[in-house]
Structure 1
Amino acid sequence: MKKLTVLFLAVVLFSSCAVVRPGEVGIKQKLGKLSNDVKTQGTVLYNPLTSKVIIESTKTKNIKLILSLPSKEGLSVNSEISILYRLKANKVASVLQNLGQDYESVVTSVFRSAVSDVCAQYFAKDMHSGKRAEIELEVKKKMQINLEMQAEGIDLIGVLMKRVQLPRGLASSIERKLQAEQDAMRLKFVIDQEKLEAERKIINAKGERDAQLIIAEGLTPGIIRLKAIEAFKELAKSENAKTIITDGKTPLIVGNDETEKKDK
């Protein structure tokens, strides 16, 4: 009899005990009413006849969806999208009271509405370009506002657009446009190089011209006379007979043909 009593007490004890693990929270629900006391980790005792413990995860959750998104020009763009969110531990009771345990479906519905409204304001090409991050941020902001209107406690971490597939015709035209832009950039580079080379030649020519002007300005009559005297001295050292006719400034040399023939 005692063994049966002990066994009965053990069954009752284990059936009235819940374990809250790391990354989870537990909330008692007594006669349908949720307690504001949130248990973050450990063992929770309760009366199984009148109460139960609801355990919810506070880890980051990922909802993956494949949607056809509308664009500003009326096209449909297919995209795989991830919604990252988690429950705030101290606000789990609010989420359960207002949205119930099926709150994930509410998050999905809010997202569908927000992403349609935001994407309809952008062109299809924007979803495939650098504006994708801007679109993701706008969707996140709109979702956060709509969720807070229904219940506090859902922390929206991010919205990620992946594998964006544009309509075939639009994708081809974008590729052609990108190729044309690359060609234009390449041609501009060549033109810039040619301009730089032309500028280099002009600068070089101006430098030579300025050098000649400086030399010309430096050739005063006195310097020219000095150079002429130096030339006379050099001619005087020559072994060949020369006839020099000069006005004292510049020499005019006339060679002696007979002397040159003898030398030869």
Structure 2
Amino acid sequence: VPVALAVGVAQASIYDVPGGYRAVMFDRFSGVGNTAKPEGTHFLVPWLQRAILYDVRIKPRNISTTTGSKDLQMVTLTLRVLSRPDIDKLPRIYQSLGMDYDERVLPSIGNEVLKAIVAQFDAAELITQREVVSSRIRADLLQRAGEFGITLEDVSITHLTFGKEFTQAVEAKQIAQQDAERARFVVEKAQQEKQAAIIRAEGEAEAAAKISKALSTAGEAFITFRRIEAAKAIVGSLSQNGNVTYVPSSNGNVLLNIPTQK
């Protein structure tokens, strides 16, 4: 019996702190200790002392809120926060917040910071200056969480959506811009076609002027030359037709419109 009692007391006097955890020691006489125990095996006085284990690894959490922007547009934001407790402040966290410290603190301060920062920006600025908004939220949230002994490793905006009215207004603006671009293209095309018509008319006028000048200088010889060119073009066209035959005459070959015999 004494040996069994001794073994039981020895086992009750030893406790282990797993990896990723820290232990806060509570003493019935002196209260909570000032320092957290590191990982490993430690000793305590049975019944008089008790070890409270805290998980000090990084925990992810999503914080969502719906608030108004500077131009009174409704915005829904989702913030992803990676947090862990400050090891040096674990005794104070246990005394003031308990084991569920993150449930008590992060949702409230997250909503507070999000509403305060979003109210300083217009809806358009929340899109175009997203990095600025995220950095402002991170800075304010780090400060507020530090007051409760919580360290934030990362803060980022994962979702950002606007109200139905604002979304419809953005879509209508995009459609109007596309219509304006289409109208601008039609105007430019009409101007180009007009310019091409002017250039074509100028070319035809210049050609007519040159022909008129040639007629005035060459006279009958130029007309006869153009008549010969026209006759050659007609002959070339008719020669491709199988229904046209050539009949010899005293003046040369004569084209007759006589169907060929098959």
TM bin, normalised by shorter chain, reads 0.5 to 0.7
Q: Which amino acid aligns with 1:7?
A: A
Q: Deviations over 1:181-213 (max 9, x none)?
A: 67889979xx9xxxxxxxxxxxxxxxxxxxxxx
* Aligned residue identity for 1:5: P
What SS does the corresponding residue of 1:114 show, helix, strand or coil? helix
Match for residue 114 of structure 1? 113
Aligned CA distance change for structure 1 residues 180 and 42 (closer, same or farther; 3 Å):
farther
Structure 2 SS opposite 1:95: helix
Equivalenced residue count is: 187
**Which consecutive unaligned segments of at least 5 residues does structure 2 have?**
189-262
Q: Give the letter aligned to residue 8 of structure 2.
A: V
CA RMSD in angstroms, aligned pairs only: 3.2
Tell me if the contact between 1:125 and 1:166 (Cα under 8 Å) persists in the aligned partners. Answer: no
Does the 8 A contact of 1:81 with 1:161 survive in 2?
yes
* 1:172 counterpart residue number: 168
Counterpart in the other structure of 2:156: 160
Q: Identify if the C-alpha distance between structure 1 residues 185 and 26 changes in structure 2 by more than 3 Å, giving closer, same or farther.
A: farther
SS of residue in 2 equivalent to 1:73: coil
Shift of the 178–17 alpha-carbon distance from structure 1 to 2, 3 Å rule, reads: farther
Q: Report the alpha carbon displacement of residue 180 of structure 1 after superposing the two structures with TM.
A: 5.7
Q: 1:28-43 counterparts in 2 under 5 A? A: 28-31=25-28, 33-43=31-41
Q: 1:120 to 1:181 in 2, by over 3 A?
A: same
Give deviations 1:29-61, integer Å, cap 9, x for gaps.
112622233222101221231111121122111
**Aligned pair in 2 of structure 1 residues 70, 13: CA closer, same or farther (>3 Å)?**
farther
Distance 1:182 1:135, change over 3 A: farther
Quickly say closer, same or farther: Cα 1:54–1:183, change in 2 above 3 A. Answer: farther
Percent identity, aligned pairs only, is: 22
Question: Counterpart of 2:11?
Answer: 14
Q: 8 Å contact 2:15–2:41 — kept in the other structure?
A: yes
For the residues of structure 1 that align with 2:12 and 2:124, how far apart are their CA atoms?
58
Partner deviation per Cα, 1:130-170 (whole Å, 9 max, x = no partner): 4223222212222222333x34x321223222232211221
2:40 aligned partner, one-letter code: G
Structure 1 residues 3-82: aligned runs within 5 Å: 4-31=1-28, 33-82=31-80
- Sort the Cα spacing of 1:169 and 1:21 in 2 relative to 1 into closer, same or farther, 3 A: same
TM-score, normalised to structure 2's length?
Answer: 0.60
Show structure 1 runs of 5+ residues with no match: 192-264
Q: Tell me if structure 1 keeps the 8 A contact 2:21–2:38.
A: yes
| In structure 1, C-alpha distance between the alignment counterparts of 2:178 and 2:158, rounded to whole Å | 26
After superposition, residues 193-232 of structure 1 pair within 5 angstroms as none
Aligned counterparts of 1:24 and 1:91: Cα–Cα separation in 2: 14
On the 8 A contact 2:145/2:152 being kept in 1, the answer is no
- Aligned partners of 2:177 and 2:71: how far apart in 1? 23
The whole-number CA distance in structure 2 between the counterparts of 1:35 and 1:72 is 48
On the 8 A contact 1:40/1:89 being kept in 2, the answer is no
Look up the SS of the partner of 2:120 in the other structure. Answer: coil
Deviation of the 1:118 alpha carbon: 0.9
CA distance in 2, matches of 1:185, 1:141: 42
Question: Aligned partners of 2:121, 2:177: CA distance in 1, in Å?
Answer: 22
Change (3 A) 1:183 1:51: farther
Equivalent position SS for 1:155: strand
Aligned to 2:200: none
SS of residue in 2 equivalent to 1:122: coil
Q: Residues 30, 125 of structure 1: CA spacing in aligned structure 2 closer, same or farther, 3 A cutoff?
A: same
